Structures are given as C-alpha cells and as structure tokens.
Chain A
C-alpha cells in the first residue's frame, strides 16, 4: 500500500515536471503501476484508476467513458512532434476492442498523456502488461495486429524496434508458426503502400485510414 502511494506520488510529480526528460521514470512508473494494477484487488484497482484519471485531467473531475474516444482523436492531430503516431493509434483502437473498462482506463492513462509519454518505449511497457494479461481477448484481433507489429519490429529507430519486439514477445509465443500462418496478411500490408508511388498525395488518406 505504501509503495502504491509512492508510485502515484512519482507519477503525479512526473506530470508536473519535465516529462520528456525523465525517460527512466516513465518506464519505472508505467511498469510499477501496471504491476500494482495486476496484483491489487478490485477496490485498489478502482482507487488506482480514479486517482490516475484525476491526476491526468486538469479539472480533476470525473470523466465519462464515452468521452475518451474523442479525446484520443483530438490529441492525435495535436501531436506532430516527429515519429509516427500510428502505433499510438493502433494501441488505442486495440484497447477499445477489448471491451474492458478497466483496461481502457488503464490504457487511457498511457495514451491520453501522449505528450508526456511521447516515447513509444513508455507506452510499450504499459502495453506488454496488458498484452500478457488479456491474451485470450487479443487472439481475436491477431490478424489485424500481427502485420503492424511485424512491420514496426523492423523500424530503423532502435528504440521503437526494442519496444515493438517486447510487445511481439508478450503476444506471440511461437513466432515462426504465427508468421507462416499470417503470411498473406503480413505481406499484403507491407506491399500495400506501393500505390503511393503512383499517387503520392493519397498518402494523406492512407495515413488516416491506418
């Protein structure tokens, strides 16, 4: 219980300070919070969720679940500082597919503050915890998820690569089998951008559809 409050303390402090510089703290707190979330009982989870929500929103008032989706979309346009947002988007849609309010809340804490968690690394740490917990629900969305994960695993940026490999390992137990099973999905996703060479400005549509 003490550690829990300590973590929350760190988390709140992180938000108030310069979050982009505290990569280590980001990782630690995201890992720790997800651990506490896993270990704790229902009461603690509710408390955690409510405190996280209150710490993340400026008003400090309660939020309805329905509002969150709009919030994501709004933020997506507002964060154009380098790197691609699609993983972030990907994670968001995934959380909503799970239909688990707890997880959505928990995920929202990561996704909502994308300005804070602008390293994909931080988000990935949170996500690995989710992926390990909700494996059964995730297997349904594997066909959509595997191609994207495979693509991002080979990102030239080593940090993104690392985090995506972490998610991949959490989600997939036998990679060779999965790759051969979803070969057509993966390759058609990889080849799909070739039409951009003919119509480069379709990229805009392409990007937002994805």
Chain B
C-alpha cells in the first residue's frame, strides 16, 4: 500500500467515465455508500480484540472514501472518520489495558506517519494530523517508543504543512518590507 498505487483524482474521473460508458450507471458507488455507513455503525464501541486485524484497513478505507469525488460518499466517509478516530483514541488510552494500547499504537502510529499525514488530499491530511495530535496528547506512557520518530517526521514535513503564503513571504521579505519575525507572528 504505497502512495504511488493510489489513483489520482483525474484517473478516478476517467474510471467513472468508463463505468458510465460501458454500463450506463455508476454501479460501484452502491458499495461505497452503504458499506461506509454500515462500517461506521458497526465499529461503534468495539473492543481491541475484535477490531485489531481490521483497524489499518478500515483507516485506509476511510481515508480513501473521504477523498472521493461523489459528495454523499464523502459525507459517509466523514462519518466513518469520526467514529474511527474516537475508537482509535479510546483504544490508545493508557488508562485502560496497556497491552491493547501498545498494540493499537503499533498499528496506528506507523500508519499515520507513513501514509496518513503524507496524503495528497487536504481533508484526509487534516483528519490524520488531528488524530495524531490527539493521540500524542493522550497516550503518555505508550508514546515513548515512537516519540523520536514522530518528532523527526513532523519536523521534516513542517514546510509542507505550512500555508503556501508563508513559504512565499519568507522568500520575498525584502520586497514587501517585512521581517522574519513579523511574517511568523502574523500567522499565529
């Protein structure tokens, strides 16, 4: 599941066109809609033992569906993301079962760092970053093995998370008569 295998937005428009061209209908959307909503209902209040082997796949699905072209699918994806993030945060809680928490962290943190945060879609990236922040805030003891990795990757991707305007301004300070501190202060 590398980033390269994901189909771009343009490619998906092309797929839809071909489906419509050959079959006269968007059959595949029947699956997207109902299984996304069903999944978000099914995952409510589940335990680690049940969800463990499906957690990463569910997140992959959610991120993919959230980025869909069709609006109803997007909304279903948002619902799924909400349910999944509350589930994940509950699983990563150090106050509960420590073993299960460690398992959940082992699944989730690499996923977030390698795939989630680096997603091409803005919405997906926002959701994943929010989740990462909430996990790091909450899971005190469980975070230890991953802290170095998280810091490194977040520092690396700092420039890509910044707003485009900051990038632009920092290169053209003299032209606009601003100082570096002013630019940064303006955006905070």
Chain A interfacial positions (CB closer than 8 Å to B)? 80, 82, 84, 86, 150-156, 179, 183, 186-191, 193-194, 196-198, 200-201, 203, 207
* Complex Cα spacing A156 to B6, Å: 26
Which of A80, A86, A156, A188 interacts with B23 by CB under 8 Å? Answer: A80
Contact (Cβ within 8 A) A190 B35: yes
Q: Report chain B residues within 8 Å CB of A197.
A: 6-7, 64
- Whether A200 contacts B28 in the complex (CB less than 8 A), given A80-B23, A186-B42, A187-B42, comes out as yes
Contact (Cβ within 8 A) A193 B42: no
Which of B18, B34, B54, B58 interacts with A154 by CB under 8 Å? Answer: B34
Q: Report chain B residues within 8 Å CB of A187.
A: 39, 42, 54
Chain B interfacial positions (CB closer than 8 Å to A)? 5-7, 12, 15, 18-19, 23-25, 27-28, 30-35, 37-39, 41-42, 50, 54, 57-58, 60-61, 64, 72, 76
Interface of B is mostly: helix
Contact (Cβ within 8 A) A179 B42: yes
* Complex Cα spacing A61 to B31, Å: 40
- Looking at the assembled complex, report how far the CB atom of A91 sits from the nearest CB atom of chain B, in whole angstroms: 16
Count the A-B residue pairs with Cβ separation under 8 angstroms: how many?
73
Contact (Cβ within 8 A) A80 B24: yes
Q: Report chain B residues within 8 Å CB of A196.
A: 28, 31
- Whether A156 contacts B7 in the complex (CB less than 8 A), given A187-B39, A187-B54, A200-B15, comes out as no
Q: Report chain A residues within 8 Å CB of B37.
A: 154, 156
Contact (Cβ within 8 A) A84 B30: yes
Q: Report chain B residues within 8 Å CB of A179.
A: 42
Q: Report chain A residues within 8 Å CB of B31.
A: 193, 196
Contact (Cβ within 8 A) B42 A191: no
Contact (Cβ within 8 A) A153 B27: no
* Complex Cα spacing A193 to B58, Å: 11
Contact (Cβ within 8 A) A151 B38: yes
> What are 30 A-B pairs at a CB distance below 8 A?
A80-B23, A80-B25, A84-B27, A84-B30, A86-B30, A150-B38, A150-B42, A154-B41, A155-B30, A155-B33, A156-B33, A156-B37, A156-B76, A183-B50, A186-B38, A187-B39, A189-B35, A190-B42, A191-B35, A191-B54, A191-B58, A194-B57, A196-B31, A197-B7, A200-B7, A200-B12, A200-B15, A203-B19, A203-B28, A207-B28
- Whether A207 contacts B27 in the complex (CB less than 8 A), given A194-B60, A197-B6, comes out as yes
* Complex Cα spacing A150 to B72, Å: 19
The CB with the most chain A CB atoms within 10 A, among B18, B24, B27, B64, is that of: B27
- Looking at the assembled complex, report how far the CB atom of A79 sits from the nearest CB atom of chain B, in whole angstroms: 11
* Complex Cα spacing A201 to B5, Å: 14
Contact (Cβ within 8 A) A191 B34: no
